[in-house]
Amino acid sequence: MKRNKKMGLARPGMKTVVFRLIVCVAIPALVALAIMGSSPARAEYADIVINNYSDGAGMRPAIFPHWFHRIRFRCKVCHADLGFKFQAGGNEINMLKIINGEFCGACHNGEIAWSVDNCDFCHSGKPGTPTQVHGSTVQKLLKPSQPAK
Amino acid sequence: MATRSKKTQWVEKKLLLFVLLWMAGSAGCFVPAANAKDVFANDGLHDPQGPSFNELQRPDAAFAGFPVDTVGNKVRWVQALRDGMITPRTNIVPDTKIKILDMDLILGNTGDNAYVRFPHRAHTEWLDCANCHPDPFKEKFGTSGIKMGAILEGKFCGKCHGAVAFPLTECARCHSVKPDTFRGKFGVQPVEKH
C-alpha cells in the first residue's frame, strides 16, 4: 500500500509519464514499423532487367518476369527451343531480332502472346536500372567478379 | 462488498491503460500508404510513370493458391507442377519434348558438409538435357570439377539456383545426405519408388 501511494494514481510524476509513453507508444510503434519495414514491396525474385540498349535509345529498360513465364512455360521452351543463354543481357537481343521472330518474338507475335507493339509492357523499368538478375544470391551476397555488361 | 482489493483494481486500471495506449501507439503505423500494397510501386525496378504500369500483372495475385515456399518467389514450383496447379507448355518447336529421367545422383567430396543428392527427375520436368549436358556438366560422373565457390559465382548449379531456382542460401536442400549414415556408392543411385 505504501508503494501504491508513492506511485500515485492521480498524478504520475514526469518520469513515469515519459516511461509510459516509451513503453506504450514508442515501442509498439517501432515494432510495427519493423514488421512493416521488413516486408516492403520488393521486386520479384529472378526478374531480369535488360538494359543493353534501352537507356541509349531513350526507352525504359526491359523487365522480364521469370515468375510470369514459368507459370506458362517450362524452362526448356526458352532456354533450349529458343536458345536463350542463362546470362542476363548475354543474348544480344535487339528489337530487330524480336520483330523477326527470334527470342521474345517467337511468342510475342500477336498469336501466342501479345505482339511487340505493346512496347511499355516490357520496357517498364526505371530509367538507368542496370542489367541484372534481380534478387539473385550473387547480387545479395557477393560482389560480382565481373561488372555487368 | 470488497470482492476486489485495491491492489487488484490498481493493476486492472494499469493494464487497461497499457492496452489502450499500446493500441493507440500501434494504430498510426498500420494506416497503409496509398500504394503500400502494390508490390511494383516501390520495388526499385518498375517505373510507376510507365504507361502500362497499372496493366502489368502482379505476382502476388498470380501466386494465389500455389504451394508456399519460404525463399525465392515463395512458390514451390516443382510441387506446383506435380500437383497440376500449373501446366506450363513443354515446347514451342514442334518436335522437341520433355524427357523425364528418374535418376538420382549422390555427390561426395563436399568437405565438412553433407553429401549432395541431385534428382534428375525434378530437373528434367522443367529442363532439356542439353541445358546442362555437356556444358556445364559432363555426362561422366565426377568429371565436371564442380566447386561450391564456382556455384556461388553463378557457375554450374548456380546458373539457375540463386538466379531463378531456389537460392543458394538453402544449403540443406542439396546437401541432404548425412555422411555418417550413407552406406551406398557415390554417383547413380538405385531408383526409388516415388
Residue B34 pLDDT:
47
Residue of A nearest to B30 (CA): A32
Residue A35 pLDDT:
52
Contact A77 B73 (CB under 8 A): no
Domain ranges across chain B = 67-194
- How far apart CA B93 and CA B87 sit, in angstroms, is 17
Residue B115 pLDDT:
98
B170 touches chain A (CB under 8 A): no
Contact A137 B158 (CB under 8 A): yes
Residue B12 pLDDT:
85
Match 567430396 to its residue by C-alpha cell: B109
Residue A15 pLDDT:
78
Nearest CB neighbour to A81, from listed B47, B50, B92 = B92
- How far apart CA B151 and CA B139 sit, in angstroms, is 18
Strand ranges of the sheet holding A132-133, from the earlier edge strand across to the other edge? A62-64, A48-50, A132-133
HSE at residue B193, side-chain half, CA atoms within 13 A, is 0
State mean pLDDT over A86-94: 96
A 10 A CB-CB count for B125 gives 20
B150 touches chain A (CB under 8 A): no
Task: Please report the number of interchain residue pairs, chain A to chain B, with beta-carbon separation below 8 angstroms.
Answer: 196
State mean pLDDT over A115-136: 96
The answer to whether the beta carbons of residues A59 and B55 sit under 8 Å apart is no
Task: Name which of A94-98, A109-113, B190-194 the model is least confident about.
Answer: B190-194
Nearest CB neighbour to A74, from listed B47, B90, B152 = B90
Residue B15 pLDDT:
85
Angle B148-B150-B155 from CA coordinates, rounded to 5°: 115
Is ipTM strictly over 0.85?
no
Residue of A nearest to B152 (CA): A138
Burial class (CB in 10 A: 0-12, 13-18, 19+), A122: buried
CATH homologous superfamily for B67-194?
Cytochrome C3 (3.90.10.10)
Which cell numbers hold the place of B172? 540443406
Residue A37 pLDDT:
47
- How far apart CA A62 and CA B155 sit, in angstroms, is 24
Residue B9 pLDDT:
87
DSSP A10: S
Mean pLDDT by runs of 10 across the 194 residues of chain B is 74 83 65 68 93 96 95 97 97 92 96 97 97 97 96 95 96 97 94 65
Q: Best interface-test mutation with B: which of A1, A38, A74 has the largest number of B CBs within 10 A? A: A74
Contact A46 B127 (CB under 8 A): no
B39 touches chain A (CB under 8 A): yes
State mean pLDDT over A130-147: 77
pLDDT digits (tens, 9 = 90+) for A21-71: 777 667 766 666 555 544 444 679 999 999 999 999 999 999 999 999 999
Q: Quick one: how far is CA A96 from the chain centroid?
A: 28
User: Which residues have C-beta within 8 Å of that of residue B105, sequence separation ≥ 6?
Assistant: B117, B118, B120, B141, B186, B187, B188, B189
Q: How much of chain A, in percent, has pLDDT values that exceed 90? A: 61
What is the dihedral sign for C-alpha A115, B159, B101, B120?
Answer: negative
Nearest CB neighbour to A73, from listed B88, B93, B168 = B88
Residues in chain B: 194
User: pLDDT at residue A145 above 70?
Assistant: no
Residue B21 pLDDT:
73
Which cell numbers hold the place of B53? 504500369
Contact B39 A41 (CB under 8 A): yes
Domain ranges across chain A = 2-38, 48-141
For domain A48-141, which architecture applies?
Answer: Alpha-Beta Complex (3.90)
pLDDT digits (tens, 9 = 90+) for A9-19: 556 677 777 77
Contact A71 B47 (CB under 8 A): no
